[in-house]
Amino acid sequence: MDNQEPILRVEGLTIDIPMAKGTLHAVRGIDFSLRRGETLCIVGESGSGKSLTSLAVMGLLGKTLKRSAKTLSFAGIDLMAQSERDMRHLRGDRMAMIFQEPMTSLNPAYTIGDQLIEALTLHRPVSQGEARARAVDLLGKVGITAAESRLSQYPHQLSGGLRQRVMIAMALMCEPELIIADEPTTALDVTIQAQILRLLKDLQREMNMALILVTHDLGVVARIADHVAVMYAGEVVEWGPARAVFDAPNHPYTRGLLSCIPVPGKTRPGDHLGSIPGIVPSLVGKVEGCAFRGRCAEAQEACAGPIPIHDQDGHHHSCVHAQAQTQGREIPA
Ligand code: ADP
Ligand code: MG
């Protein structure tokens, strides 16, 4: 698996949003890649560009937002060159997205069964009966009991947790190669969140899918991520193997974010990212230097200029400091 080509390659992705007062550079040249069967967790404060990045990969940005990239490829397919129609074929089939709010994906007017069955028959030449059997099987897999009898129910007849499970089942109907889950359980009770994420991880392993999980739950990240990307103000400021990023966070922002100690077994479900004083600068118009410097205790003059990227065995960070100036584990909240 080591020398396998990444299933998803993102290089130099930018997303610009035209606004009355200028262009909002919401995502500013980010890179990441992911192999089959791997889990990448994207973390970062609200507004850092995580959802836009997810939508850009899925081709769901809409027309007013401008996407550009040096490379945006999925399983060797150049996603930048695909038509709307091609993207619709890929979505729900080879790549799928799970949203925070299940009703984004579920139609209130159709039964669970109809929607699950259609998710498969839309993309594959299978019979209704076969699709139905797969739906029952998957509902069982996502932990829904009496799956058969659920098929005739409507989304509003289910609890939030069950709806989320149905949405996961729906995303998995075609056994996608890539699944992007954008804060999929934030609206749910903490215990249910942990269960559902565990489940997603198990299914991901079983089906050898690549998973991108956008989450605020550090306990989850510590337990399930192979790689972590930390986003701040439209950039990935630190990324690498999860263990390396947690054990030795290099970017002052990452260290600030990890206000609790994210160690497997120690960090519990529901533990949240810390908050750092200060505000994110405006990303409208030209943005120069490190966007975190106004909030950074380690800022110096050089931070207003071009910022180098450091790479230690695949653990990257963009900062004027090549090494952390303080110990990762001793960061105050
Ligand atoms: P995150 O998911 O990390 O919280 P988003 O990707 O949703 O952040 O948003 C990144 C930035 O882009 C935010 O400043 C947000 O306000 C802005 N943004 C996102 N979508 C739109 C849109 N459709 N129109 C204008 N601004 C947007
Ligand atoms: Mg978001």
pLDDT in tens, 266-278: 555 665 555 677 8
pLDDT of 264:
52
The tens digit of pLDDT for each residue in 90-100 reads 998 999 999 88
Distance CA 79, CA 11 (A): 12
Quote the mean pLDDT of the chain: 89
pLDDT of 260:
47
Contact call for residues 42 and 229 (beta carbons, < 8 A): yes
Mean pLDDT over 138-164 rounds to: 92
Q: How many residues does the chain have?
A: 333
pLDDT of 218:
76
Mean pLDDT over 295-319 rounds to: 95
How many of the other CB atoms lie within 10 Å of CB of 21? 8
In testing the pocket of ligand 1, which one of 52, 57, 273 has its CB within 8 Å of the most ligand atoms? 52
Residue 20: CB partners within 8 Å, gap ≥ 6? Answer: none
pLDDT tier, 329 (very low <50, low <70, confident <90, very high otherwise): very low
Quick check: 262 pLDDT over 70?
no
Quick check: 261 pLDDT over 60?
no
Within 13 Å and on the Cβ side, how many CA atoms surround 167?
29
pLDDT of 233:
96
pLDDT of 187:
73
CA 242–ligand 1 middle distance (angstroms): 25
Contact call for residues 249 and 263 (beta carbons, < 8 A): no
pLDDT tier, 171 (very low <50, low <70, confident <90, very high otherwise): very high
Q: Residue with the nearest Cα to atom 21 of ligand 1?
A: 17
CA 202–ligand 1 middle distance (angstroms): 31
Q: Which atom of ligand 1 is nearest to the CA of 182?
A: 2
Q: Is the pTM of this model over 0.85?
A: yes
pLDDT of 96:
96
Main-chain dihedrals φ then ψ at residue 83, nearest 5 degrees:
-75, 165
Main-chain dihedrals φ then ψ at residue 269, nearest 5 degrees:
-55, 135
**DSSP state letter for 80:** G
CA 240–ligand 1 middle distance (angstroms): 24
CA 251–ligand 1 middle distance (angstroms): 23
- Sort 270 into a burial class: Cβ within 10 Å, 0-12 / 13-18 / 19+: middle
Q: Residue with the nearest Cα to atom 25 of ligand 1?
A: 17
CA 12–ligand 1 middle distance (angstroms): 18
pLDDT of 189:
76
CA 54–ligand 2 middle distance (angstroms): 9
Q: Which atom of ligand 1 is nearest to the CA of 44?
A: 3
Going by C-alpha positions, the residue among 202, 308, 302, 205 that lies closest to residue 250 is 308
All domains in the chain, ordered by first residue:
8-94+177-318 (3.40.50.300), 103-175 (no CATH)
pLDDT of 332:
36
pLDDT of 1:
43
Ligand 1 first shell, C-beta below 6 A: 17, 24, 26, 44, 46-52
Q: Where are the alpha helices (DSSP H) in the chain?
A: 50-58, 84-90, 112-121, 128-141, 147-150, 160-172, 190-206, 218-224, 242-247, 252-257
Ion ligand 2: protein residues whose beta carbon lies under 5 Å = 50-51
Q: Residue with the nearest Cα to atom 24 of ligand 1?
A: 17
pLDDT of 194:
79
32 DSSP β-pair partners: 10
